[in-house]
Amino acid sequence: MKKSVLCLLAFALIVLVNACGGGSEGDGPDPSEKGLVFSVDKDTIYKSGDDKAVFTVKYDGKDVTDKSRIFERTSEKFLDGNEFGTTKLGEFVFTAEYQGEVSQEIKIASVEEEYYQANLLLFHFTSTYCKNCPRMIYSINAAEEKAPGRLIKISFHGPMEGDDPMQLKPYAEPLMKKFNCYLTYPVVVLNGVRWWSEAKGFEDMQSFLPDKTDIGVALTTRIEGDKAYIDMNVKTMRIYDKSCRVAVVLVENSLNYEQLQDDLSWDKTYIHDDVVRRYLTDVMGDPLEEGELKAAKLLTKSYTYDISPLLVRDEVDVVAYIMKNDGTVLNCTRVKLGKSVDFQEIE
């Protein structure tokens, strides 16, 4: 009899708990989503008119955006839809209305458009055993004179008939394979898009040097003892549809190694610059998370490097670039290790 009474009491307790909303923690909406929740994908937009902030309205965790109205208080008008763009500077205040309930306020600031200098990254594949390689360098140097500071070269050395003392196969080979120029010397890949294996003029590079671009790269570096600290900063005027990748590489200059010449003689006084020594990211770049690169927001990636005693630190530069997942470089910059370079803004 007692056992039956206990079973009945336990059953009644279970019914009471369920009636009061008990059960597993996963049942029902998340506490943070209960009631009317108004949100936006970004709180700063450019006043281009093309940059848009996108609002979302939820009620008890369910998306009710298309059943809601969004009110902009400055103009005292409801939006036509759930996106907002403007050609005016200032701060704008929004609320959402759903079934007579009004949400909390959201503020969005519009700012001036920002444009940056477009630089061209040259992936340069070479070897001390390549007799045609010096001619390629002379061509690049001539092009640099026509666009000072805008051509950034990084040189990957590889083997030919003999071993190149500066070769780094783990870096050179996967990149050459990606660019479909495997074991070709010399070769220069322009912004990861087009490559040529013979010296050409500046005219062939001009299509990669528009008057301005909407994405900028800056570098802040410092040396403390035997450690180098590097911050790569990126700013953009728009959200890219696909995630991007960032890459940071150390190159060394003024390296004296003999170089084969056209007449098959060896130039024992030849100086090699921009020689790739170390990637601080993956050689294919480190991927960014979806939405990590946002319009009008500063993206910072930080790196630490224990400076190799084999490097002459006064001859080391830092090169940083941002690219799409397909390898297309969007922009790049360069600075001497221990120095900094700001965003190269232009009107």
- Residue from 54, 39, 44, 52 nearest 89 by CA: 44
Partners of 153 in the β-ladder: 122
What are φ and ψ of residue 275, in 5° steps? -75, 120
Per DSSP, the three-state class of 196 is strand
Distance between CA atoms of residues 59 and 324, nearest Å: 37
DSSP-assigned states of every residue in 199-249: ---GGGTGGG--S-BSEEEEEEEEEETTEEEEEEEEEESS--SS-EEEEEE
- Residue from 197, 204, 189, 229 nearest 332 by CA: 189
Peptide bond into 134 cis (omega under 30): no
Range 39-55 average pLDDT: 88
Distance between CA atoms of residues 333 and 245, nearest Å: 15
Q: Note the pLDDT of residue 31.
A: 65
Contacts of 93 (CB under 8 A, 6+ apart): 72, 73, 74, 105, 106, 107
Q: Note the pLDDT of residue 159.
A: 78
Question: Which one is predicted more confidently, 253 or 327?
Answer: 253
Q: What is the mean pLDDT of the chain?
A: 88
Question: Which one is predicted more confidently, 201 or 148?
Answer: 148
Q: Note the pLDDT of residue 119.
A: 97
89 membership: H or E segment, kind and range: none
Q: Give the count of beta carbons closer than 10 Å to the beta carbon of residue 253.
A: 15
Burial-class residue 218 by CB neighbours within 10 Å (0-12, 13-18, 19+): buried
Percent of the chain scoring above 70 in pLDDT:
89
Q: Give the count of beta carbons closer than 10 Å to the beta carbon of residue 38.
A: 21
Q: Note the pLDDT of residue 239.
A: 64
Q: Which residue has the tokens 């006064």?
A: 314
Tell whether the model's pLDDT for residue 18 goes beyond 70: no
Tell whether the model's pLDDT for residue 339 goes beyond 70: yes
- Residue from 337, 344, 343, 341 nearest 303 by CA: 337
Give the pLDDT confidence of 111-163 residue by residue, as tens digits: 888 899 999 999 999 999 999 999 999 999 999 999 999 999 999 998 776 77
